[in-house]
Amino acid sequence: MKYENFENSKVLVVGGAGFVGANLVKNILNETKNVLVVVVDNLMSSEKENLPNDFRLQFLKGSIVDDEILKHIDDSFDFIFHLATFHGNQSSIFDPLKDHENNTLTTLKLMNHIKDYKNLKKLVYSAAGCSCAEKTFDKACATDEEAPISLVQDSPYSMSKIFGEFYSVYFFRQHGLPTVRARFQNVYGPGEVLGAGEWRGTYATVWRNVTPTFIYKAINNEKIPLENEGIATRDFIFVDDICKGLMLCALNGTEGDVYNLGSGQETTIAELAEKIKLYSKSTSEIEYLPKRNWDNSGKRFASIIKSKQELGFKAVINIDDGLKTTIHWTKNNIDLINENIQKHSSHMDKI
């Protein structure tokens, strides 16, 4: 069955105060008149201020693994988006148990709790393209949904994302839970606040992703750190595009299936740095650093054929326009970002 939109529905977004989650909530509220959105988030890597003030939005602060929180998740939801994670690779290497609790266990407890629900039309799980891509620094091929997945993974985070896929498939096959897996490529855009949330044990609490890090450094004319000469490639997708893709997974996705959400375009990290320098009119120098010892995921991008054919999905924001918008947002929100970075200064000083 296909669904037209979210009109007259009740939507749960787990991890909904986060970067992608808060953007998704805003997209759903903007595009729907009559909808109730409930967000569950323990604010581990986000701030409540990410969420809009809207009478159609309810916020429950807490972990989805907590039984007291799960009591609120009854069989009245039409759609669930599960975006909670322990952000990200480096922090999961530092603290694999916290990753387990806030990444793997979130998926298991949520799906086990709702497995017999009858009203639910779709649960969309946020999987990660990085877990599935071939580990190569040679020429990459577009990774399609059927690509084999290796047991050799770079981090507990990456393993947890695959476990989330295992549980999505298992609960669909065993219990008929209508799961759809959305495999994200690298998302960037407005709303990703450096330093948001709690200290998670590594500098990646602040420098949480390559795009916001480079933009912040470029705006401040600080050195831009480029590991391994920036030869790695990623498939960058603007956050509004990923939100549209997630909504299409919920509305058009086939139960039990998986879809890549990416731009299908490969960009080197060195090109990303140059574009950001150019669009922010920065005088930053490039600081050349060695390859990160844990990161073997060299070159990768997604095949977008299946999501186009079956979901009607296509990323529409090109990287140049997306970066310009993100730079503009970062400049306008620099005080908020500085506040969140500052919050961790005592930890960062000790590293």
Minimum Å gap between C-beta 77 and ligand NAD is 15
How far is the CA of 206 from the CAs of 84, 243, 344, in angstroms?
18, 24, 8
**Which residue lies nearest ligand NAD, judged by its C-beta?**
18
Structure-token match 């930053």, residue found? 284
Pinpoint the alpha helices (H) of the chain.
19-31, 67-70, 89-94, 96-99, 105-114, 129-132, 156-175, 210-219, 239-252, 269-279, 305-306, 319-332, 334-342, 345-350
Cα–Cα distance, 321 to 204 (Å, whole number) = 26
Minimum Å gap between C-beta 34 and ligand NAD is 26
Minimum Å gap between C-beta 63 and ligand NAD is 4
Q: Which is nearer to ligand NAD, 178 or 189 (CB)?
A: 189
Q: Which is nearer to ligand NAD, 7 or 316 (CB)?
A: 316
Q: Which is nearer to ligand NAD, 36 or 105 (CB)?
A: 105
Cβ atoms of residues 16 and 85 within 8 Å = no
Q: Which is nearer to ligand NAD, 126 or 263 (CB)?
A: 126
Minimum Å gap between C-beta 311 and ligand NAD is 17
Q: Which is nearer to ligand NAD, 271 or 285 (CB)?
A: 271
How far is the CA of 28 from the CAs of 2, 38, 122, 171, 246, in angstroms?
17, 12, 15, 26, 10
Residue 232 in tokens = 């790695």
Q: Which is nearer to ligand NAD, 65 or 219 (CB)?
A: 65
Residue 313 in tokens = 């999905």
Cα–Cα distance, 236 to 112 (Å, whole number) = 33
Minimum Å gap between C-beta 24 and ligand NAD is 9
Q: What number of other Cβ atoms are within 10 A of residue 101's Cβ?
A: 16
Minimum Å gap between C-beta 300 and ligand NAD is 12
Minimum Å gap between C-beta 335 and ligand NAD is 20
Q: Which is nearer to ligand NAD, 45 or 263 (CB)?
A: 45
Cβ atoms of residues 326 and 278 within 8 Å = no
Which residues sit at the interface with ligand NAD, rule CB under 6 A?
14-15, 17-21, 40-46, 63-65, 83-87, 102, 106, 126, 128, 161, 184, 186-187, 197
CA dihedral 32, 36, 40, 41 (to 10 degrees): 40
